[in-house]
């Protein structure tokens, strides 16, 4: 069957290591190239990627589009409300039809079940471009970025402070597959998905849940957070509960001296993170955003270049 990229816990550790290493290799190979030039060999020449968006996107959309062009391929951007999908055509039928036109499908959706249904019925690879449950493409860029700044991630400590959201699930899977310690500091109102914590237990992933964000960051090599209100969520009154988990200079000062700060972006400055941290010397958030491009290439090559 097609080689999908659905979630990190559905791909084995050596394959994921290979994807991160490929991302670093394709990045190095382009040093000094202007963005509009193609990668040597154009490995995805003639390939077409369709991208379905049920939610907005800046990084995922542009990085996949530029990645396909640089690899020699092309893309189609499909907004779900402009498709028959938005008027009730089934996900399964959409998968069957799109598989007759394109070589791969990326989807960003409000429902993880739609992703898995698409993958079940597509005869071409399906890539998870974010669901309510996970964001695995982001983690390839995140692991790559961590390793650029701090060396191999195995055995290191990453602390998440904030909402227990879709990014947390993918961080949990990454902790298992890349063998680092993940500490989760989330308020009880915004606790991580118990299914991810169960997966961690069953698979020997080192995931530790904390109440106190200061205790959680002690000795951490990386502090990471994300928006307090994810796409498709009610803005509801969670800000008071989340306020003590804000990543500010005081929290960063409690981490290891060399600790970096990561955020998948978009950031809500003044909420989950302060300007001083975002723009400070420990922040690697724009390297992280750049690395989405290199990571997408590695994901596309994993799915398509076989
Ligand atoms: N980090 C990320 O996925 O950003 P976009 O929502 O802009 O794609
Ligand atoms: N948790 C955020 C990530 C955005 C890239 C969201 O789902 O909106």
Alpha-carbon span 115 to 107, nearest angstrom: 7
Contact predicate 245/188, CB 8 Å? no
Pocket probe mutation, ligand 2, options 53, 58, 130, max atoms within 8 Å of Cβ: 130
Pocket probe mutation, ligand 1, options 145, 285, 292, max atoms within 8 Å of Cβ: 292
DSSP 186: -
Is residue 275 part of the annotated active site? The answer reads no
Query: What topology does CATH give the domain 137-288?
Result: Rossmann fold (3.40.50)
137-288 shares the fold of 8-134+292-304:
yes
Contact predicate 82/108, CB 8 Å? no
pLDDT at 253 over 90: yes
Contact predicate 117/92, CB 8 Å? yes
Contact predicate 259/223, CB 8 Å? yes
Q: Which CATH architecture has domain 8-134+292-304?
A: 3-Layer(aba) Sandwich (3.40)
ipTM above 0.95 for this complex: yes
Give pTM, 2 decimals: 0.98
Is residue 190 part of the annotated active site? The answer reads no
pLDDT at 118 over 80: yes
Strand ranges (E), the chain = 48-53, 74-79, 104-108, 126-128, 157-161, 181-185, 207-210, 222-225, 260-263
Domain extents in the chain: 8-134+292-304, 137-288
Beta-sheet strand order (sheet of 157-161) = 207-210, 181-185, 157-161, 222-225, 260-263
Q: For residue range 166-219, what is the model confidence (pLDDT) as tens digits?
A: 999 999 999 999 999 999 999 999 999 999 999 999 999 999 999 999 999 999
Alpha-carbon span 292 to 60, nearest angstrom: 7
Q: For residue range 133-143, what is the model confidence (pLDDT) as tens digits?
A: 999 999 999 99
Which pLDDT belongs to residue 235? 74
Long-range contacts of 229-233 (CB under 8 A, 24+ apart): 229/163, 229/268, 230/132, 230/163, 230/165, 230/166, 231/55, 231/56, 231/110, 231/130, 232/55, 232/110, 232/132
Query: Separation of 106 CA from ligand 1 center, angstroms?
Result: 13
Q: For residue range 69-96, what is the model confidence (pLDDT) as tens digits?
A: 999 999 999 999 999 998 999 999 999 9
């Amino acid at each position: 069957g097609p080689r999908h990229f659905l979630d990190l816990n559905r791909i084995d550790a050596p394959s994921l290591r290979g994807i991160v290493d490929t991302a670093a290799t394709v990045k190095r190979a382009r040093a000094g190239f202007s963005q509009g030039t193609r990668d040597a060999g154009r490995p995805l020449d003639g390939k077409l990627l369709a991208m379905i968006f049920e939610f907005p996107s800046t990084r995922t959309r542009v990085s996949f589009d530029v990645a396909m062009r640089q690899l020699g391929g092309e893309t189609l951007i499909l907004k779900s409300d402009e498709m028959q999908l938005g008027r009730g055509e089934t996900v399964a039928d959409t998968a069957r039809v799109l598989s007759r036109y394109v070589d791969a499908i990326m989807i960003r959706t409000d429902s993880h079940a739609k992703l898995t249904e698409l993958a079940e019925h597509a005869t071409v690879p399906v890539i998870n471009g974010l669901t309510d449950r996970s964001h695995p493409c982001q983690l390839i860029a995140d692991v790559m970025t961590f390793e650029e700044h701090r060396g191999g991630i195995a055995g290191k400590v990453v602390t998440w402070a904030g909402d227990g959201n879709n990014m947390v699930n993918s961080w949990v899977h990454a902790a298992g597959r890349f063998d680092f310690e993940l500490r989760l500091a989330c308020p009880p109102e915004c606790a991580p998905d118990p299914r991810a914590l169960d997966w961690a237990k069953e698979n020997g992933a080192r995931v530790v849940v904390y109440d106190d964000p200061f205790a959680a960051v002690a000795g951490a090599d990386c502090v990471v957070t994300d928006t307090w209100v994810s796409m498709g969520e009610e803005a509801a009154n969670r800000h008071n509960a989340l306020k003590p988990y804000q990543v500010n200079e005081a929290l960063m000062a409690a981490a290891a001296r060399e600790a970096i700060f990561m955020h998948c972006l978009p950031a809500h400055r003044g909420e989950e993170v302060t300007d001083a941290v975002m723009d400070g010397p420990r922040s690697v958030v724009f390297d992280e955003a750049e690395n989405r491009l290199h990571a997408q290439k590695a994901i596309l090559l994993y799915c398509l270049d076989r």
